[in-house]
Amino acid sequence: KNQVEQSPQSLIILEGKNCTLQCNYTVSPFSNLRWYKQDTGRGPVSLTIMTFSENTKSNGRYTATLDADTKQSSLHITASQLSDSASYICVALKTSYDKVIFGPGTSLSVIP
């Protein structure tokens, strides 16, 4: 079954601290993986995209990693800011282009 799982479900961290969010996928055949950030009351916005041949991609303080062998990805946030409070969604795309599978998201709260 094609699915994307994310952990933890929610996370609270202090401003300035780092954190890592996890994503496991069972999508096959796999094409690429994206991380989206969704602020409360807004639509998701793309942070990074990685194909199966890439193992890391950065976007400012956000760094995504991908291990296509173990079908795992992580999103590392460095020096968190209050504006990082959001839901982070992992999305896997099948090679055949006929299926995009969204994970349920990790809700991150950054507190002062």
Partner 1 sequence: NAGVTQTPKFQVLKTGQSMTLQCAQDMNHNSMYWYRQDPGMGLRLIYYSASEGTTDKGEVPNGYNVSRLNKREFSLRLESAAPSQTSVYFCASSDPGLQGGYGYTFGSGTRLTVV
Residues lying near partner 1 in the complex (CB under 8 A) are found at 4, 31-32, 34, 41-46, 49, 89, 91, 93, 97-105
Least distance to partner 1 from the beta carbon of 15, Å?
Answer: 26
Question: Please, which residues have CB within 8 angstroms of residue 27's CB and are 6 or more apart in sequence?
Answer: 2, 3, 4, 71, 92, 93, 94, 99, 101
- Name the DSSP letter for residue 51: E
Least distance to partner 1 from the beta carbon of 102, Å?
Answer: 3
Looking at the Cβ atoms of 77 and 103, the one nearer to partner 1 is 103
Looking at the Cβ atoms of 30 and 80, the one nearer to partner 1 is 30
Alpha carbon of 97 to those of 7, 44, 101: distances in Å? 26, 20, 11
Looking at the Cβ atoms of 44 and 65, the one nearer to partner 1 is 44
Least distance to partner 1 from the beta carbon of 112, Å?
Answer: 27
Least distance to partner 1 from the beta carbon of 58, Å?
Answer: 17
* CB-CB contact of 47 with 62 (8 Å): yes
